Amino acid sequence: MNETSLVKTIRPEMVHMDRLPAGTVIWPVGVGGGDPRIWASRETGEEIVAIQKERVAGMINEALEGI
């Protein structure tokens, strides 16, 4: 779910949900965590990107304070 949401935000043309089994009874091979067929979304990806941008900016600012 996490990775699919990020890719839906950054490179949506690379997401091919139609390649996963249609029903949620069959678990997709190679998928861990939340089922992307249910939980992945562009909005979730945008939230993840925003959180990570703030996190990385804080780390950079903290590192620059030590210079």
Q: Please state the domain extents for the chain.
A: 2-65
Residue range 40-61: mean pLDDT, rounded: 97
pLDDT given at position 30: 87
Per-residue pLDDT tens over the stretch 15-45: 999 999 988 899 988 888 999 999 999 999 9
Q: Give the integer Cα–Cα distance in Å for 32 and 3.
A: 10
Q: Give the integer Cα–Cα distance in Å for 20 and 65.
A: 47
Max intra-chain CA distance, the chain: 54
- Whole-number percent of the chain with pLDDT over 90: 85
Q: Give the predicted TM-score (pTM) of the model.
A: 0.83
Label residue 46 by pLDDT band (50, 70, 90): very high
pLDDT given at position 66: 81
